[in-house]
Amino acid sequence: MGSACAQAGLEVVNIDTFPSAIEKAKANLEALFIKKVAKGSMTAEKKAEILGRLTYSGSFDDVKEAAIVIEAVPEKVEIKKDTFKELMGIVKPDCMFASNTSSLSITEIGAGLDRPMIGMHFFNPADRMKLVEVIAGENTPDEMVEKIKGISV
């Protein structure tokens, strides 16, 4: 998901609380792009450009200026809700919250938050599948849906 956003031109901070997961994500992405360069489906310059848009962190503080946070924690409502509740105290009030859920209620995930929630379900593998399901909750404004559709193109 992060690599798909970076390939679309967005600056991305991948956050994980487990350092080993961060290292694995970096290594997997590097290996993926090395294969693309070897096959000729990506230039070395494009690889460097995309990887230059990606940073990795173990702290939510590193997204305090983000315009959008797309969560991809395990598919458990409480974990997702807790993640967004913590983020509320860190990010700007106009930061959009999106969940990469494939099956949970966007309305339920967003209940009790200080801003609307939207779903952005990236289909796997996100770097090759040019498909993002945009899911509005009961309180998701139409303007937010349109912004997310624009980002997802």
Selection from 52, 59, 64, 68 nearest residue 9 by Cα? 52
Active-site residue flag, 121: yes
φ, ψ for residue 94, nearest 5 deg: -95, 5
- Using DSSP bridges, classify how beta strands 132-136 and 12-15 pair: parallel, antiparallel or unpaired: unpaired
SS3 30: helix
Selection from 131, 62, 60, 58 nearest residue 100 by Cα? 131
Q: Of 26, 53, 121, 147, which one is the catalytic site residue?
A: 121
Q: Which residues are catalytic?
A: 121
